[in-house]
Amino acid sequence: MKTVKNVVIVAVILVLTLSLAAAAAADAVYRTLDEIRASGTINIGVFSDKNPFGYVDENGEYQGYDVYFARRIGEDLGLTVNFVSTEAANRVEYLETGKVDIILANFTVTPERAEKVDFALPYMNVALGVVSPDSRIITGLSELTENDQVIVITGTTAEDYLVKNNPEIRLQKFDTYANAKTALENGSAAAWANDNTEVIAYALQNEGYTVGIPSLGSQDTIAPAVSKGNETLLNWINDEIKALAAENFFHKDYEATLVDTYGLDYENSLVLEGGGLAE
């Protein structure tokens, strides 16, 4: 009897979720640019706890690199911005249900995500970076000898990249940032490879370390995203990003929000103006 009941329950759940999924495919839920304008408010999803990209300061105000751009969008559209606190795990969901108009939450462009949402022109680069002690700065992977090891964190793009493209390099794998950093400080490996924003911030905060390879492998980009098919809004954002290049807007954004974390040296490698098309 018990198993029969369980089977029934599982079946009910399956039917419920399937019907929800089927309904999801059926209709679009986004607001067009005109509808947003008419409402007077634009909903923008940002991180609220990812300093320095999107966070809330001690006065309860949203701040950061993404937020700076979001405010400008609101200003140029003449609309009030309603910031919605999002998590990495629900960014796509927010757009698929039209609960926000734009996601500006350090959203890396990937082919899988591009199937579900529409990305506008990018406004920032991300790549892998390698940091090493000043006593022996590694400026290219070819400098590594057979005896050298490189620290990576399990499950990161850095690990995938090195396993795939440089299988000859010996890796030391750690599960947490704290352990990886301790290992580097103990001198158990020649270098540490990770997202370049991470290693740059690390080198700036810890004396005696330098990012010898600031950008390794394929460049990924960070871009605004809108609901799939919302062309009026997408085109407006693209035009806006192109227009803002004239005033070097994202350099100003960097200098206002990111410079404390990454310093001025990386401004040009991290910032993208005009979607990178102008250069």
Partner 1 sequence: MPDLGLEVLWKGKNFVRLLGGLWVALRISLIAAGISIVLGILLGVAASRKRSVSSAILRIWLGVIHIMPQMVLLFLMYFGTTRAFGWNLSGEVAAVIVFSLWGSAEMADLVRGAVTSIPAAQRESAEALGLKPTQVYRWIILPQAVRRLIPQSINLITRMIKTTSLVTLIGVVEILKVAQQIIEANRKASPNAAFGVYLTIFVMYYLACRPLSLAAKKLEKRWG
**Residues near partner 1 (CB under 8 A):** 5-6, 8-10, 12-13, 16-17, 19-20, 23-24, 27, 29, 48-51, 55-60, 63, 84-87, 89-90, 93-94, 96-99, 205, 260-261
Give the Cα separation of 277 and 210 in Å (integer).
Answer: 30
- For partner 1, the closer of residues 50 and 170 by Cβ is 50
Taking the complex as a whole, how short is the minimal distance between the CB of residue 84 and partner 1, in angstroms? 5
Taking the complex as a whole, how short is the minimal distance between the CB of residue 31 and partner 1, in angstroms? 11
Taking the complex as a whole, how short is the minimal distance between the CB of residue 39 and partner 1, in angstroms? 13
Helix (H, G, I), strand (E, B) or coil at 108: strand
Give the Cα separation of 213 and 74 in Å (integer).
Answer: 37
Neighbours of 133 (CB within 10 A): 19
- For partner 1, the closer of residues 10 and 246 by Cβ is 10
Question: Which amino acid, one-letter code, is at 68?
Answer: Y
For the record, the structure tokens of 30 come out as 């986004």
Contact in structure between 265 and 196 (CB atoms under 8 Å): no
- For partner 1, the closer of residues 63 and 196 by Cβ is 63
- For partner 1, the closer of residues 23 and 168 by Cβ is 23
Neighbours of 278 (CB within 10 A): 10
Give the Cα separation of 88 and 62 in Å (integer).
Answer: 17
- For partner 1, the closer of residues 185 and 260 by Cβ is 260
- For partner 1, the closer of residues 65 and 249 by Cβ is 65
- For partner 1, the closer of residues 86 and 197 by Cβ is 86
Taking the complex as a whole, how short is the minimal distance between the CB of residue 258 and partner 1, in angstroms? 13
Contact in structure between 122 and 275 (CB atoms under 8 Å): yes
Taking the complex as a whole, how short is the minimal distance between the CB of residue 87 and partner 1, in angstroms? 6
Taking the complex as a whole, how short is the minimal distance between the CB of residue 51 and partner 1, in angstroms? 5
In what order do the strands lie in the sheet containing 170-174?
Answer: 170-174, 149-153, 191-195, 124-133, 209-222
Hey, what's the torsion of the CAs at 94, 99, 101, 102, to 10 degrees? Answer: -30
Q: CA separation (Å) from 123 to 52, 199, 244? A: 15, 20, 11
Taking the complex as a whole, how short is the minimal distance between the CB of residue 47 and partner 1, in angstroms? 9
